[in-house]
C-alpha cells in the first residue's frame, strides 16, 4: 500500500500516508484506524532498513521511492478507491445509546485535502436510528463516494446532533448550501473534541 501511494502521488509525509490509508480502510482491511499510525511507523522503518526502497528528506519530511517513480500527476477518480459493499463498512463507535449521530465524508474530497496539505475537508454530521440502513443508502450516491468515519451512540441523538452542529457553525465551519445545514469544513479530530467537551460539560 505504501509503495502504491508513493508511486501514484509522489513524495508524501507520514501523516499524509496515514490519512490516505485511513481513507482506504473503510472495511478495516488494515486493522482498526486507531492502530494505523503505529503500524505505519514500524512498516516504514522496516522498509527503509531492509529493502532500501524508501528515501526520506529531512528538508520537507517526505518519503519517496528510491527507484524511478513513474507515477503521473494525481488525479482523483473512481479508480483511486478500492471498492467495497456498504454493509462491509467498518468504523469507530463512541458513547452509549440506542441511536446514532454519525460523521461521513466524501473520499474524493478528503483525498484532495490530504494531497494539498489541508487539515479540513467537507464533513456531514447527521443522525439515524439504523446505521445499517444508512450504510446501504450511501451506495445510492455512487460507488464508494461517501463513507462513515465514526458514529456516536446516544439516546438523545437530536440534541447531540444539534449541539455539535451549533458548535461547528459558531466556529464558522458551516458550508452554505440551500436547505442543508449538515455539511461543515472540519476534520474528525475536531468533531471528536467537540463531542468530548460536551460530555465533560454534561450538555448531552
How confident is residue 37, by pLDDT bands cut at 50, 70 and 90? confident
Cβ burial of 159 (10 Å; 0-12, 13-18, 19+) is middle
Query: Domain limits of the chain?
Result: 2-70, 86-200
* Partners of 39 in beta bridges: none
62-65, strands of its sheet edge to edge = 12-13, 62-65, 54-57
Residue 194 vs residue 40, higher pLDDT:
194
Q: Which three cell numbers stand for residue 192?
A: 471528536
CB 99 within 8 A of CB 129: yes
Residue 101 vs residue 39, higher pLDDT:
101
Q: Which helix (H) or strand (E) holds 153?
A: strand 146-154
Q: What angle do CA 65, 71, 73 make, to 5 degrees?
A: 120
Third-level CATH fold of 2-70: Arc Repressor Mutant, subunit A (1.10.10)
Q: How far apart are CA 28 and CA 139, in angstroms?
A: 18
**136-178 confidence digits (pLDDT tens):** 776 676 555 688 999 999 999 999 999 999 999 999 999 998 8
What percentage of the chain exceeds 70 in pLDDT?
A: 86
12 pLDDT more than 90: yes
69 pLDDT more than 50: no
Count of Cβ atoms closer than 10 Å to residue 161 Cβ: 22
| 65 φ/ψ angles, rounded to the nearest 5 degrees | -80, 140
Q: How far apart are CA 166 and CA 21, in angstroms?
A: 31
Please state the pTM of the whole predicted model. Answer: 0.82
Q: How far apart are CA 26 and CA 148, in angstroms?
A: 8
pLDDT of residue 141: 61
Amino acid at each position: 500500500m505504501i509503495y502504491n501511494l508513493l508511486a501514484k502521488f509522489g513524495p508524501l509525509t507520514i501523516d499524509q500516508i496515514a490519512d490516505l490509508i485511513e481513507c482506504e480502510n473503510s472495511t478495516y482491511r488494515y486493522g482498526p484506524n486507531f492502530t494505523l499510525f503505529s503500524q505505519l511507523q514500524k512498516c516504514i522503518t522496516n522498509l527503509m532498513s531492509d529493502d532500501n526502497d524508501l528515501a526520506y528528506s529531512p528538508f520537507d519530511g517526505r518519503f519517496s521511492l528510491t527507484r524511478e517513480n513513474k507515477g503521473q500527476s494525481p488525479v482523483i477518480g473512481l479508480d483511486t478507491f478500492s471498492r467495497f459493499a456498504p454493509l462491509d463498512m467498518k468504523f469507530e463507535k463512541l458513547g452509549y445509546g440506542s441511536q446514532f449521530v454519525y460523521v461521513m465524508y466524501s473520499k474524493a474530497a478528503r483525498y484532495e485535502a490530504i494531497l494539498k496539505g489541508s487539515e479540513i475537508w467537507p464533513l456531514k454530521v447527521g443522525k439515524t436510528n439504523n446505521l445499517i440502513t444508512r450504510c446501504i443508502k450511501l451506495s445510492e450516491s455512487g460507488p464508494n463516494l461517501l463513507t462513515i468515519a465514526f458514529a456516536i451512540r446516544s439516546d438523545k441523538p437530536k440534541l447531540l446532533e444539534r449541539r455539535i452542529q451549533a458548535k461547528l457553525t459558531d466556529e464558522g465551519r458551516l458550508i452554505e448550501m440551500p436547505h442543508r445545514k449538515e455539511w461543515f469544513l472540519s476534520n474528525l479530530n475536531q468533531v471528536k473534541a467537540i463531542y468530548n467537551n460536551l460530555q465533560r460539560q454534561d450538555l448531552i
